Structures are given as structure tokens and as C-alpha cells.
């Protein structure tokens, strides 16, 4: 329940910021073009807050935080007195109307740049993309390297952390192959030394990727490096199943219900499958074996299944400092990084849309409000810098989505106005009406698919 409240609150905050900036783009340019604005609204439905400015514009916060709008004086939808006609949107030149409509998506791209700039100024702690192993008979099995290695570039573009690598690999969906540059590591007197870089061509002919089952990195056969986890209790939560069973810090886990334990993940899977079921756990304490009765507590997970847990954390090796990376830059470099990141996301989002249309990417990968809310909640958990990165990501997506040439979106209006600019006359109202109906149907179809996909996340 607390997760739901946190995710919802984070979603509302993120969406309100995105909508406010988008609509303010329309509003700001409309004012500069001397268009009268009736209302600037964040949200739909019942008005919760309203304020009137000196120019007669209502600034509104409404009850349903799933969008917003700027209502301008427009002779196409209302009677406009003769003395106010010069302030009507439809009386402005076609280039002024183009500027007003385009200002919303442009504001989203500017928001992304600023958000990334702030994120890189604050700094984000991340990890280098270090691979400890490659799965056999996987796309990545072309790499013959036996030691740990760092992925340094994809198709010649540098990557320095997992998030950048993930975006680069997602962009390869629908491609036949891609080039991957790696730097092997070797250990000499406890020091990690880089070897010369190597480049491989990874074939994607037999690549199968289901984002609901595994990450894009693991689907390619890469096994990310993680510190060694021991079958030794490092911390025991108060009033937990572990504490009630008699487990203490330093206990070594030997077997459970007669099954020998080989690694921590094996132990976790057994616990998760045995909620409220008594288990006989054999431990080693002070060089002698002891059998404890362990009854895992139960909790409901995201897919509605009941899962066992015991409140026990294992001993884990320290993550090597050499594998860490801090993404923090000075003002000029942070701004440059923000521009680069925004452009990279723009390219990725555009290519993703193209692949949805061509069928290279399944519509099952679309997310609606629930998916966005979970993303907002998770990013907020990690702090302000990560939340800024999430806002930038969604802002780029919102900007591009609004530029799609569907008549119900900003892109559709721009399409009509550019036709008017080229032909010298506006598109007929009948054609516009048909276009709006088709656009609404297409948009509703994609929204319905996204919401249906969200039900799988509940």
C-alpha cells in the first residue's frame, strides 16, 4: 500500500511538471504573438484551484492530473467580438500558429536538457558495465574473452555506465548486428589493469528479447559482474522469520530440508516458494552443525503471487572502487552532456516508434500510467538526481509523441499548418474533421494497448 501511495505521488509530481512545462511553452509563445488566453489548466475535471491574472487568464489546477491544456481565443470554436478578433488564434499568420503549437514539444526538449544538466551537476553514482561471463549459444558468445571485461562502446559510441549501455542495446532491436568494443581486465598484485581494446560484431539473427522476463543485457547473453555473495548471515532483521528461527550473524547456511546449498540465489528461491511452510535449516556455528526450524513470512508481490521472505541479508564482498564511476561534471561539461543525452534519447525514441510501426518491436512493450508511475516511484527512491533523469526521459518521450502527425496531437496541427504555408490556403474543415477522427481512433488504440499492458503490472 505504501508503495502504491509513493508511486502515485511521484507520478503526479512528475506528470504535473511535464504538463506544466509543455503547456507553458504554448502559453508563453501565444502571449508573445498577442493571442488572448482564456485558461491555463494543469489537469482535467473539477477545478481545485483557480487564479485570474491581470490579462484575464485563468490559471487552474484540476482534479484529474493526466494532462492539461491552454484554451485560447479562437473563432473556430466561439463567437469572437470584432474588437477582439486581432487577439484570436485563428487570425494569426500561419507561421505564428506554427510557433505556438511547436512551442509545447520544444519546451519538453528544453526541460530534458535542463533536467539532465541538473542531474550531472548534482552527480550520479553509477557502475562501469563490467561483464563477468558470457552465456553459451547466445548472441554474445562470439566474444572469446575468458577474463572479466568492460564494454566500452557500441557501434563506436562510448558507454561508461550500465544505463548508457542499456539504452544503446535497446536501440539495436530490429537490427541484424552491431559492433561491440570491450576492454579485458587482468589482476596483478591486487591491481586491476586494462588490456588493449577489442571489437566484435554481435549477430542478432537468433536474438529473443522479452523485457518482462529479463533485461536486454542478459537476453544477449552477458552476465554482469556482481560481488561474491556468501552463504553467511551478515544481518538479521528484528522480529523477522530469521530471528524467530534462532539465526544469528555469522551463521553459515549448509542445507535446507536436506538440499545442499550451493549459492545464495538457490537459497532465496527456496524461501520464496515456501511462504508459511516450516523448513529445516542446517547451519554451521562455531565449527559445529545445528538444525533450526525456519518458517518464512509471506507477502504479496506485483503479479499477485504470494512469496516467502525471512529478513536475512548475506555477507557480500565490497564492490571494487575500480568498477565504480561518478557521473558528475562542471557546469559547461554538464550542459554538454545534457545536450548529448537528450539527443541520444530523441534518436532512440524516434527509432522505437518506427520499429513499433514496422513490427520490429512488439506493442506489448508499450507502457501506460501504471508503468510510468512505477518508474517515477523507483527513480524517486534513489534521490533527486535519479528523479531528474526520469523526468528528462519522459519529457523527451512526451515531446516526440506530440510531434507525431496525428491530427489530435500537436504534430497533426503542425502538419495542417505546414500544408497551409506551402499551398497558401488552409486545409478544409471537412478534411480536418476526418483527420481528427482517424487520429483519435489511432491514439485511443495505442492508449488502450498501453493500459492493457499495465494490467500485467498490477
Could you give the CA distance from residue 122 to residue 145 in angstroms, rounded to a whole number? Answer: 36
Kindly list the distances between the CA atom of residue 17 and the CA atoms of 39, 53, 105, 236, 366, in Å, as whole numbers in the listed order. Answer: 18, 21, 14, 41, 22
The one catalytic residue in 23, 136, 163, 347 is 23
In the numeric block, the cell 511452510 is attached to 277
| 67 and 22 Cβ atoms separated by less than 8 Å | no
Could you give the CA distance from residue 274 to residue 269 in angstroms, rounded to a whole number? Answer: 9
Query: What angle (nearest 5°) sits at the alpha carbon of residue 331, between those of residues 327 and 333?
Result: 60
Could you give the CA distance from residue 438 to residue 444 in angstroms, rounded to a whole number? Answer: 10
Q: How far is CA 413 from its chain centroid?
A: 28
Q: Which three cell numbers stand for residue 126?
A: 553509477
Q: Among 9, 62, 63, which residue's Cα sits nearest to residue 40?
A: 62
Q: Which residues contact 102 (CB under 8 A, 6 or more apart)?
A: 410, 414
Could you give the CA distance from residue 129 to residue 180 in angstroms, rounded to a whole number? Answer: 12
Q: Is residue 214 annotated as a catalytic residue, yes or no?
A: no
Q: Which residues contact 389 (CB under 8 A, 6 or more apart)?
A: 115, 116, 119, 124, 379
Give 269: exposed, middle or buried? Use CB within 10 Å, 0-12, 13-18, 19+. exposed
> How does DSSP classify residue 408?
T
Q: Which residues contact 172 (CB under 8 A, 6 or more apart)?
A: 154, 178, 204
Q: How far is CA 80 from its chain centroid?
A: 44
> How does DSSP classify residue 87?
G
Residues recognised as catalytic: 23
Amino acid at each position: 500500500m505504501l508503495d502504491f501511495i509513493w508511486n502515485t505521488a511521484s507520478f503526479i509530481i512528475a506528470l504535473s511538471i511535464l504538463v506544466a512545462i509543455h503547456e507553458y511553452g504554448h502559453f508563453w509563445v501565444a502571449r508573445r504573438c498577442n493571442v488572448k488566453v482564456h485558461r491555463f489548466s494543469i489537469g482535467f475535471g473539477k477545478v481545485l484551484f483557480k487564479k485570474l491574472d491581470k490579462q484575464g487568464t485563468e490559471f487552474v489546477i484540476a482534479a484529474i492530473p493526466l494532462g492539461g491544456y491552454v484554451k485560447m481565443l479562437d473563432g473556430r470554436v466561439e463567437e469572437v467580438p470584432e474588437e477582439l478578433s486581432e487577439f484570436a488564434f485563428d487570425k494569426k499568420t500561419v507561421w505564428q500558429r506554427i510557433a505556438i503549437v511547436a512551442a509545447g514539444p520544444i519546451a519538453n526538449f528544453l526541460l530534458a536538457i535542463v533536467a539532465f544538466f541538473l542531474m550531472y551537476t548534482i552527480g550520479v553514482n553509477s557502475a562501469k558495465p563490467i561483464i563477468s561471463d558470457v552465456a553459451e549459444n547466445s548472441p554474445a558468445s562470439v566474444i572469446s574473452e575468458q577474463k572479466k571485461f568492460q564494454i566500452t562502446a557500441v557501434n563506436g559510441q562510448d558507454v561508461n555506465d550500465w544505463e548508457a549501455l542499456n539504452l544503446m542495446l535497446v536501440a539495436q532491436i530490429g537490427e541484424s548486428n552491431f559492433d561491440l568494443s570491450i576492454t579485458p581486465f587482468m589482476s596483478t598484485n591486487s591491481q586491476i589493469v586494462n588490456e588493449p581494446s577489442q571489437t566484435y560484431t554481435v549477430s542478432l539473427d537468433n536474438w529473443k528479447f522479452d523485457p518482462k522476463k529479463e533485461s536486454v543485457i542478459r537476453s544477449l547473453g552477458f552476465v554482469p559482474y556482481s560481488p561474491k555473495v556468501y552463504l553467511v548471515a551478515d544481518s538479521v532483521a528484528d522480529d523477522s522469520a530469521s530471528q524467530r528461527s534462532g539465526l544469528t550473524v555469522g551463521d553459515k547456511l549448509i542445507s535446507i530440508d536436506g538440499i545442499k546449498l550451493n549459492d545464495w540465489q538457490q537459497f532465496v528461491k527456496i524461501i520464496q516458494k515456501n511462504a508459511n511452510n516450516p523448513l529445516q535449516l542446517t547451519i554451521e556455528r562455531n565449527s559445529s552443525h545445528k538444525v533450526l526450524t525456519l518458517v518464512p513470512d509471506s507477502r504479496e508481490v506485483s503479479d499477485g503471487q504470494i512469496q516467502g521472505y525471512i529478513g536475512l541479508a548475506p555477507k557480500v564482498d565490497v564492490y571494487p572502487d575500480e568498477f565504480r564511476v561518478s557521473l558528475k561534471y562542471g557546469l559547461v561539461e554538464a550542459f554538454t552532456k545534457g545536450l548529448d543525452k537528450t539527443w541520444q534519447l530523441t534518436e532512440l525514441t524516434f527509432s522505437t516508434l518506427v520499429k513499433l510501426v514496422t513490427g520490429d518491436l512488439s506493442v506489448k512493450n508499450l507502457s501506460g500510467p501504471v508503468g510510468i508511475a512505477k518508474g517515477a516511484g523507483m527513480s524517486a527512491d534513489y534521490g533527486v538526481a535519479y528523479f531528474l533523469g526520469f523526468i528528462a526521459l519522459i519529457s523527451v518521450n512526451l515531446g516526440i509523441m506530440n510531434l507525431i502527425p496525428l491530427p489530435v496531437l500537436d504534430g497533426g496541427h503542425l502538419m495542417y499548418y505546414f500544408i497551409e504555408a506551402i499551398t497558401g490556403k488552409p486545409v478544409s474543415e471537412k478534411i480536418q474533421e476526418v483527420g481528427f477522427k482517424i487520429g483519435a481512433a489511432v491514439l485511443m488504440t495505442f492508449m488502450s494497448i498501453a493500459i492493457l499492458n499495465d494490467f500485467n503490472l498490477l
